[in-house]
Amino acid sequence: MLSRRTLLGSSAALLLASIRSHAATPLPQDLRSALDDSDLIYITPLKKDGGESRCHAEVWFVFDGASVFVVTNATAWRARSIEAGQTRARAWVGEFGNWQGAKESFRTAPELFATGSVVSAANEQTRALELMGDKYRLEWIVWGPRFRNGLADGSRVMLQYAPAA
């Protein structure tokens, strides 16, 4: 039989473990600076064997000091790979234009290994969208409503990439 003391103690232990597991992974200063200054990241999912996917893209993002957030088409490979359980990703932070035209030059940028997940909590989506609006002020006039409406109707998803240890 469970006592209230045992239940409360177990709940507190689970909460503490959850908080510790969500603590930000320390990032190298060059990566942190790039995340603060750049408008683009170049991202690719990692296969089960650790190799890169053929799919790469340059995307807008926002960094909240702990994780990177991206809004993308619900059918994009970024979203599909996470939904299929391939949550590991590799990203380079910097601005090199279209990834195909960049001819691999983005690989010289600071890199981030991360674990991706879909953000479905409305309050987290709102917080990340507000940060994006601050970052991309001019573009947000057009893209802000598209991102918000797409998240509302399911045509877009928000992805969170937490730095991997």
The pLDDT value given to residue 113: 87
pLDDT at 46: 84
> Which has the higher per-residue pLDDT, 124 or 14?
124
Query: What per-residue confidence (pLDDT) applies to 106?
Result: 65
Is residue 133's pLDDT more than 60? yes
Find the mean pLDDT for residues 118-124. Answer: 96
Give residue 105's pLDDT band: very low, low, confident or very high (50, 70, 90): low
Burial per residue of 31-68, b for 16 or more beta-carbon CB atoms within 10 angstroms, e otherwise? beebbeebebbbbbbbeeeeeebeebbbbbbbbeeebb
Least confident range of 30-44, 68-82, 124-138:
30-44
**pTM of this prediction exceeds 0.85:** no
Residue 22 has pLDDT above 50, yes or no: no
Q: What is the mean pLDDT of the chain?
A: 80
Percent of the chain residues past pLDDT 70, beyond the cut: 73
Angle in degrees, 0-180, between the axes of helices 122-135 and 137-153, rounded to the nearest 10? 160
